[in-house]
Amino acid sequence: MLDSDQVLTAVADEPDVDRQLRPHRLGEFVGQEQVKEQLEILVQASRIRSEPVEHVLLCGPPGLGKTTLANIVAAERGVNLRVTSGPAIEFQGALASLLTSLGDGDILFIDEVHRLQRAVEESLYPAMEEFAFDFVSGKGAGAQTIRLALQRFTVIGATTREGMLSAPLRDRFGAIFRLDFYQHHELRQIVDRSARLLAVDAEDAALDLISTRSRGTPRVANRLLRRVRDYSQVRGDGAVTVRMTQEALDLLKVDEIGLVESDRRLLRLVCQQFRGGPVGLSTLGAALSEEPQTIEEVIEPYLLQLGMLKRTPRGRMATEGAYRHLRLEVPQELAGSPSEEQGPLFANES
């Protein structure tokens, strides 16, 4: 019999599967209705004026569709998309190479745009405003500034840390949108579509179970669907039933509201070792052997959305909901607090 690591090894090529599941048009994209509507207006207006789409900044936690929306905007506008990331553009010459390769109306998608080097970021300002790239040729007294004319293009930036963007860079984006966690019924639509595309024979109740435990995040929903499919093919007859789904999720240690072991470790640490907090982010990172940035960008957002963790000026604090979920005794000062109800993620579900 295979061990758990073998069971959870992907059968298919993950990048190819991700591309297969990614929507290609706004009409196929589920959720984020206000963002979709505004992007549709931007695209149509640029088409009417025969101009590039306005520079767009997409903010929000990982896995909510920022890269997908960038691809969709390029497809809807019928232009090319160049994809890079902030850390990958290490010097001004690399940025110049990217910008001079863009055609009229093309889109440059910069993931993790908040991590651009300062010199690279400053070179991007005139490019975004005036479609020109300035660089210094020569050294000393003979140095001179040369300006390269660029084709009109669009920058779409994506960030999980909007607060880390400098004000000058942020102000150069004409449209700024924040993506929020998805409601259960939206995730259910996404999982249903993905199951059809992957030709997965799945029970409706099994897809409901997957969407309930997907942390409000489409990327997680699709990943869980693939892992459940793998488990069902190895341990069953390939059909994704409720029993197979529950067994696979138990093996992955995904609980009834989507928390994984790293989430529960963080909550137990705050509740038990630090008596509910407040505790600083760097202290949590050291205690968990995790980078503080990983805690802040990957683990915390969902716990904050659920109302199990809260940020205060003095540090992170656990709420009554965290104690109850871990089946720990609730401290008297938290019991019955009206502010510790479950967060908005599961509100108004259908």
Which amino acid makes up residue 11? V
**Which pLDDT belongs to residue 349?**
43
Which one of 111, 192, 230, 263 is the catalytic residue?
Answer: 111
Task: Confirm whether 316 is a catalytic residue.
Answer: no
Return the domain boundaries, the chain.
32-178, 182-252, 261-346
pLDDT of the residue at 330: 85
pLDDT of residue 81: 95
Which residue, chain included where needed, has tokens 């690399």?
A: 94
- How do the pLDDT tens digits run along the chain, 350 residues long? 334 333 333 333 445 667 778 899 999 999 999 999 999 999 999 999 999 999 999 999 899 999 999 999 999 999 999 999 999 999 888 999 999 999 999 999 999 999 999 989 999 999 999 999 887 665 666 566 777 889 999 999 999 988 889 999 999 999 999 999 999 999 999 999 999 999 999 999 999 999 999 999 999 999 999 999 999 999 988 899 999 999 999 999 999 999 999 999 999 999 998 988 899 999 999 999 889 888 888 888 899 989 999 998 899 999 999 999 999 888 877 776 544 444 444 433 43
| DSSP letter for each residue of 105-171 | T-EEEEETGGG--HHHHHHHHHHHHHSEEEEEESSGGG-EEEEEE----EEEEEES-GGGS-HHHHH
Known catalytic residue at 66: yes
Let me know if the fold of 32-178 is the same as that of 182-252.
Answer: no
Q: Which residue has tokens 């982010």?
A: 281
Residue 332's pLDDT is 79
Choice among 22, 36, 67, 263 that is catalytic: 67
**Catalytic residue of the set 22, 172, 219, 227:** 219
Active-site residue identified among 68, 160, 212, 319: 160
Topology given in CATH for the domain delimited by 182-252: Helicase, Ruva Protein; domain 3 (1.10.8)
Predicted pLDDT at 8: 36
CATH number for the domain running over 32-178:
3.40.50.300
Q: What is the pLDDT of residue 348?
A: 39
Q: Is 67 designated active site?
A: yes
Question: 261-346: which CATH architecture?
Answer: Orthogonal Bundle (1.10)
Backbone angles phi, psi at 336, to 5 degrees: 80, 10
Which entry of 22, 36, 66, 229 is annotated as an active-site residue?
Answer: 66
| Residue 50: per-residue pLDDT | 92
Q: Is 36 a catalytic residue?
A: no
184, containing H or E segment:
helix 184-197
DSSP string, 316-335: EEE-HHHHHHTT-PPPTTTT
